[in-house]
Every structure is written in C-alpha cells, then in structure tokens.
Structure 1
Amino acid sequence: MSSLLKEEMQKRLFRPDGHRLDEFIELVYSTQGRYFLCVAVTKTQEVEISLVKYIRSEVEDSYEKLQTWLLKDLVLLDGRESDTDNSFFDMHFEKVYTLEAMSCASKYAFARCLVQLSGKVQKKDLKIANFDITYIKPTSISSNRGDCMFLMQICFYAFNLVCLSLCPVP
C-alpha cells in the first residue's frame, strides 16, 4: 500500500516539478484528513521537506503542499525521548514544529532518510538529538540485509536443532 501511495504522490505532486520523492511518513496531524511529511530531492539537488495534505473528492483525489522547508535550514531533529517508544519529534528551523508520526518506526525511517540525504547531498552531518543512534546510522549488520537474513536463518535452524535434541525419543 505505501509503495502505491508513494508512486501516486510522486506522479501527481513531485514529478511535475522535476523532484524525486525519497521518503514519506503519515502524520497524526488532524482528525480532518490525512497528512504526510515528504522528503524530496529537487532538480538543483536540494532536499525539501514538505507537509502534504491528502484531498479526497468525488472526481479525483489530490495532494496539496501546505508548507515546505529546506533540509539545509533544519537546525536540529529532536526525537524528544530516545528511551521510550513514542512517535513525537520536533523539527527546529527558525521556528520549532512539533509533529507526531503514525508510529515510532516511521519516525525513525524519516530520521534515517534525513541523515542519509544530509550526508549524501549536503555533505554535512545533520544534528539529531534524542534518537537511539543504532537505529539511525547504518552499521555493518543493518547495512547488508542479505547477510542479516542469512544469519537469522542459521540461528533459527540452530534453535530448531536444539529443540529437537531435547525431545524424548519414543
């Protein structure tokens, strides 16, 4: 579902401007509709963060950018409490914007995307606070998912062998 939604937003909202949508998360923003926080790379290789509203109509659904910020203007991305499972975060520009993602996992996906694009496009580190850094910056284990899956399969196989060896023989 999210890949279809991403493609739809890319086609209707970002592609006409020549932008590439990298990441989006749904926000708990209002009871009056669906809102998304989108990260897109522009033609000029700037990174934009946009607050987007989904507009449902009988004729054709559409999306509207309500506000756009540049990643280079983001002073701090604050996860608020790294030791609890919460989906709130603050984006510090000239003004602080407090937002709530639909889940803690989507908040971290958004942060990972911004950290990665800041290093890749802007060639500088993004200042982040109150995030568990092991879930933000790639490590040797998380950067190669194939190896990780292989290791998990081996562990599962070994666990099954231990369980079978503990079963009494009839």
Structure 2
Amino acid sequence: MSSLVKEDLEKKLFYPLGQSLYEFIEVECTAQDRFYLCASVTKSEDVQISMVKHFRIGLDEKYEITEKWFLNDLEMIDGKEADADNPCFDMHFKNVYSWEAYSCASKYTFERTLNKLNEMYLKKDLKIVNFDFTYINDDFFWSSNNGDCIVLMRICFYASNLLCLSLCPVP
C-alpha cells in the first residue's frame, strides 16, 4: 500500500515540482485528515522536508504541501525516548515541530533517510538525540529496502529475550 501512495505522491505532486521523493511517513495530525512528512530533493540538490495533506475530491486523490523546510535548517531531531517503542519525535528548525509517526519503525525509517540525505548532499553535523543508534547506523542491514523489517525483527528479538529472562527462576 505504501508503495502505491509513494508512486501517487511522486506522480501528482513531486515530479511536477521537479523534485525526487526519497521517503515519506504518515503522521498523526487530526482524525479527519491524512498527513505525510516527506523528504525530497530538488533539481538544485536542496533537501526539502514537506508536510503534505492528503484529501479526496470525488474519486480523485489530491495532495497539497502545507509546510516545507530545508534539511540545511534542521538543527536537531529528538526521538523523545531511545529505550521505548515511541513513535513521537521533534524536529527543531527555527521552531520546534512535534510529530507522531504511524509507527516507531516509520519514525526510524524517516530519520535514517534524513541522515542519508544529509551525508549525500550537505555533510553537516546533524544533531540526533534520543534514538537508538543501533537502528540508525547505515550498516549492511540498511542497504536493502527492508530496513523496517529488520528493526521490527530486532525489537522482537530483544523483547523475547526479556520475556525469557523474566520467566527464568532466580536461584
């Protein structure tokens, strides 16, 4: 489903603007509307972060950029809690914007994308706090498109270990 939304966003919004969409995540805003946080690159190689509203007119899907920022202006990304399954995070520009991603895995996917785009285009010191860096660092696991599955698998592995340890009798 997400690949169809990405394809639709690219075709109807980003390609006409001359941008390449790298990643998007759904974020909670209101119960009635859908919003996506998107990372794209312009023809002049500026990395842009956009808040996109998704709405329907009849049978037609429409998208509208409601706000946009440049990655160069991003001062810090705060994951709120590195040790918890928390989909909330803050992005510090001139103002602080708080987001709740659809899942913790999508929050990490978006952060990894911003980190990768920063390395590719800006090479600036991007301040990243309150994230588990095991899931952010770009090792051989993240080179594939199934990074979210790997994150989920690692979380499940750690959780099952904790469960097993809690069930073991203490001598």
Give the TM-score range, shorter chain. Answer: 0.7 to 0.9
Provide the aligned length of Structure 1 versus Structure 2: 147
Partner residue, 2:167: none
Partner residue, 2:135: 135
The C-alpha deviation readout for 1:54-80, integer Å capped at 9, x for no partner, is 011115220000000000000000001
Partner residue, 1:43: 43
- The equivalences for 1:17-166 within 5 A come to 17-143=17-143
* Displacement after TM superposition at 1:141 (Å): 4.8
* Displacement after TM superposition at 1:125 (Å): 3.5
* Inter-partner Cα distance in structure 2 for 1:8 and 1:141: 28
Structure 2 residue ranges without an equivalent (≥5): 151-171
The C-alpha deviation readout for 1:130-151, integer Å capped at 9, x for no partner, is 0001101112454478xxx9xx
Partner residue, 1:5: 5
Are 1:114 and 1:126, in contact at CA under 8 Å, matched by a contact in 2? no
The C-alpha deviation readout for 1:113-165, integer Å capped at 9, x for no partner, is 000000111122321000001101112454478xxx9xxxxxxxxxxxxxxxx
* Inter-partner Cα distance in structure 2 for 1:36 and 1:11: 15
Assess, with a 3 A threshold, how the Cα gap between structure 1 residues 9 and 141 changes in structure 2: closer, same or farther.
Answer: closer
Are 1:119 and 1:125, in contact at CA under 8 Å, matched by a contact in 2? no
Assess, with a 3 A threshold, how the Cα gap between structure 1 residues 140 and 5 changes in structure 2: closer, same or farther.
Answer: closer
Relative to its length, the structure with more helix (as a share) is 1
Assess, with a 3 A threshold, how the Cα gap between structure 1 residues 14 and 31 changes in structure 2: closer, same or farther.
Answer: same
Instruction: Let me know the Cα RMSD of the aligned residues.
Output: 1.8
* Inter-partner Cα distance in structure 2 for 1:119 and 1:141: 18
* Inter-partner Cα distance in structure 1 for 2:13 and 2:140: 35
- Identity across the alignment (%): 50
* Inter-partner Cα distance in structure 2 for 1:142 and 1:77: 20
* Inter-partner Cα distance in structure 2 for 1:47 and 1:138: 19
Q: Give the secondary structure class of the aligned counterpart of 1:4.
A: helix
